[in-house]
Chain A
Amino acid sequence: MSEYLSGPRPGRGGPGPEPNQSAGPAGTLGAVHGDGPEGAPALRQRLAELRGPGVSAKPLDARALAALAANPGCERRALLDGAGVDKTALASALGAPAPFGQSQFAFTRGHAFEARVKGDGGAELLRLVRERLDPSAPEPPPGGARVPDLAATGPQGRTGRTALALREAAAAAAEDGAWTLLDHPMLALEVAGTPAFLEPDAVVVHPDGTWTVVEIKSFPMLDGSADAAKVGAAARQAAVYVLALEDVAARLEPSPQVRHRILLVCPKDFSNLPTASAVDVRKQRAVTSRQLGRLTRVEEIAADLAPGACFSPELPAERLAETVESVRAVYTPECLATCELAFHCRSRAREDGAVTVLGRSARAELGELSGVDAVLAAAHGEAGDAADPAVAALRRAARLREEALACR
């Protein structure tokens, strides 16, 4: 993670939209957060108040959901994401803008790659799915597979259209052993009482009726291996789609099986030709499922806020900062690469003198001591109980360090 500041780009780590993922402000998710049919109206109302009057919810996408697992102990992040607060705007309003951005070169190249992968009626994509996941299945006919039109109005409409297409694909698989490719389907997943709309790159229905999530990324697979951090992020994102698909599948009779090995498609070596690898996402699916379950705590966190608390970027920075501070954060340096608010939280953590600004592991041997001053005071014998092994170890460390430096 060397380029945590230069922002996310395909093939370079970091969060944020990748070119082959329609997302971002012009993306497809729309301002639908909170429009769910059911859900807890009181909570929805409360979350809307938190965003501020007239501020629509920033839709949660799969990447945001997958990122919940990056720092599940952070209540601030859980609340802001859960309430659909635009953290980029919030960070700017707080005077610590997120340094994330995307290069248009990456964007262009990524789009060209995705188009190549899906070109020719998805023939190449299906070939890869069959080869890597289902080699005993019949080959798709020369004309390619069924590629249903998924166009519809609004995310709900598109979700309905996708569900219908999946149902039809199941029937087609049962009848003729057909392959179906769903290009940018739309799936809904209920998150803390409200639906989030998700758009995988593709979903393939196999002739045996099983479903596979396809992730198309623009980082390369070089001689069969790829950047493990990026593959991990892709796997977590795909796991969200798997969960959403399982919701759809559960409503069908018989319920199709959603495969837990997804297909990751990347450029091969230094070319723009696709290659693919099956990725087992069972662990990521379990983790995400658990974290989604825990998101219900958003309600409890919100309940602890002062009445009238609001995160609208229109508010004066001081007041915003106060409200933000009233929600407990767990800042760690890893946040810098995954959370828009990280620089704000870092400066607060530095002001507070928290030792974890050095990393989670900094606390490992410090016991109850968590502040820079407290640790240094204990180390230099100005405070602390010598019988506490953390204090004793610190003093030993300080003495050894001084002794060594005196040798210079």
Chain B
Amino acid sequence: MSLITTLARLEAIRAGRAQPAATVRHRHLSERPLVLVPLTTAGEAGAPLGALVGRDRDAPRLLVVPQPRDRDLRSVFLAELADIVLPYLESFADDVELVEGKEADPETGRQVTVERELCADAPQLIVPSRAGVDLVRLLGRSTRFRRTAEQDPETAYPAPPRVPLLGRWFTHFGERSRVPGASLLLAMTDLLSRHWATGQSSLEDQHLGALLAWIDPPGADGPTGAEAALRAELGRDAEGQLLCPPAGPATDPAFDNRLLAPAIERYDRARSALAAAEDGVAADALLANLSAAEREIGELVRSRTLPTWESVWRGLDLLRELPEAAHVPDRWKGDRWSFTAHRDRVASGEPPQPRIDDAVTAAQKLARREKEQAKLDAQEALDDPLVLAARRLGGEAFVGEVVDVTMTYTESKRPSPRPLITVRTEDRPHLGEKAKVHRSLDGKPQTAQFVGAEEEDGGEDPGGGPLLVVLRIVDRMGRGREPALGSVPEKGDRVCFTLFEHEPRGGPKLPDPENTPWTHGGPPTDPSPLPAADPVTEEDLL
């Protein structure tokens, strides 16, 4: 935790409410996100119990698995979820713009200009917490290998038609969410804690209710953030149920044991009774019983998810009050490319993502994420003085006034400008010999080389006084002997230089998977046949 963050959190403790951790919004927020608030059943990996889902804040769709152990009911749930999520995703697929790009011509190997489709906008999925992101990934993994009856008439538990496709998209969203700064799938707790510093630890910030209590405590004279957070964490009603249900997907054990388990038992009894019904009249009554039992579970699920649903939308409101950071559209474009590329893979009939990445894919993903992390760090600092402040404190950037500009030139036949500028700064950058520093010039990075630094007052107050930093600007001044207009800062200008690059370069190109070298096991053996769906044991069935 940087000292600036610590300080912000301490200020939050004193103020009794969260303090800004950003002055602008660093993540893209869609005009029309899809919010998903899922619940799962304890004891089983990724077994859904229900969800609230939808784009309309006032009209969430409630999905329920009244008997979570019943695989058929689970399938129904997944089919319903697919019927909501897939049309939403597909609504972004057709509105495209054409973008020029370069790619190698397959015959000549030469770089040629091609036009590619880029979706004009992309879908955005918002879940309450990081555990919700994990569940999206888990659902993706559990459904993308399933077979529909059409794909495999022999399969014992055929998946509803669109469920494997849902799995592929969930997998894609889950993987994309590991890319720093990516915004196709976001957890509300991450969004909020990126932009506000609460008076509690980051561990406690993962409780959506407590986090919101700090950021948006009820009323001016009401409880402090800490008091409201405590109530959100532990407050229970007379029946022993949490006032603020966990944001899921896990439920509170007290809810499971006291409310849900008896309701599921009633449902099971009603179902057995219906199955044993002897005539139509009896069956009608028993069916009504079953429906009532099912509705009861539905209401229980709704009662546990609705507060979280409201919290997620409240969080969106709060975030929308922050102005969008300058580089957000640039990064969102990356998300649009990601969405477009997966759209194309699905359309071209590629198989689902494998269980485990091969060596080249793993290395590629890691390299891309490292590059995106560096880019995100740089862009956030450029976009937000509060983020920059932490980098300045850490000696990775400095802000100051230009107090002197001296023109010098290279000693070549056609001399180029190499102006020396002196920057007076209160910051303490960690400048090593010949260190490169960068500033943003019309949105593009300009590089300078560190020449030397000394304390302004000759070291009367060692380590405390302003520093005079001499830099030599080395690029982006045009082709002539004299620098282009505005390309060199003038005396009196306030400038900001960073020690980190603004547009980090990518690493070397990786081999194609079929050229995986011997050190990494050689080329992958034939892509394994589609893994079988998971076996079912008798505990899974009623």
Contacts and interface: CB of A to CB of B under 8 A. Distances in A.
Judge: A and B partners, yes or no. Answer: yes
Interface of A: 1-7, 9-12, 19, 97, 99, 101-110, 112-113, 116, 218-220, 222-224, 267-273, 333-334, 336, 343, 347, 350, 353, 355, 357-359, 361-362, 364-366, 372-373, 375-376, 379, 386, 392-394, 396-401, 403-405, 407-408
B7 interface: yes
A405 B20 contact: yes
A399 B207 CA distance: 31
26 contacts: A2-B131, A3-B131, A5-B207, A5-B234, A19-B43, A99-B234, A102-B253, A103-B43, A103-B253, A103-B256, A112-B539, A269-B142, A272-B540, A273-B535, A334-B203, A350-B226, A359-B202, A362-B9, A365-B6, A375-B6, A392-B463, A393-B3, A393-B393, A398-B7, A400-B393, A401-B4
B415 interface: no
A403 B389 contact: yes
Nearest to A267: B45
Contacts of A355: 6, 10
A6 B246 contact: yes
B385 A270 contact: no
Contact of A397 (B3, B20, B204): B3
B141 A222 contact: yes
A353 to B, nearest CB: 8
A361 B1 contact: yes
Nearest to B44: A109
A273 B534 CA distance: 10
Interface residues of B, number: 68
Candidate in B3, B14, B130 with the most chain A CB atoms within 10 angstroms: B3
B45 A405 contact: no
A6 B386 contact: no
Interface string B353-369: 00110000000000000
A110 to B, nearest CB: 6
A220 B392 contact: no
B356 A223 contact: yes
B389 A404 contact: yes
Contacts of B45: 11, 219-220, 222, 267, 269-270
B11 interface: yes
Contacts of A269: 45, 142, 534
Contact of B233 (A5, A373, A396): A5
Given A271-B540, A365-B6, 20 more contacts: A1-B203, A5-B233, A19-B43, A101-B252, A101-B253, A103-B43, A105-B256, A106-B42, A109-B539, A223-B141, A336-B204, A358-B6, A358-B10, A358-B201, A359-B203, A376-B10, A379-B10, A394-B7, A400-B392, A404-B388
B42 A12 contact: yes
B494 to A, nearest CB: 12
Interface in B365-416: 384-386, 388-390, 392-393
B536 interface: yes
Contacts of A362: 1, 6, 9
B23 A104 contact: no
Nearest to B24: A408
Nearest to B257: A104
Interface in B1-26: 1, 3-4, 6-11, 13-14, 20, 23
Contacts of A97: 234
A358 B1 contact: yes
Interface string B435-477: 0000000000000000000000000000110000000000000
B23 A404 contact: yes
Contacts of A393: 3, 393
A226 to B, nearest CB: 10
A269 B534 CA distance: 7
B66 to A, nearest CB: 14
Given A101-B254, A110-B43, A397-B4, A4 B14 contact: no
B41 interface: yes
A394 B19 CA distance: 17
Contacts of A343: 234
B250 interface: yes
Interface string B28-45: 000000000000011111
B257 A101 contact: yes
B308 interface: no
A180 to B, nearest CB: 27
Candidate in A333, A396, A404 with the most chain B CB atoms within 10 angstroms: A404
Contacts of B43: 9-11, 19, 103, 105-110, 218
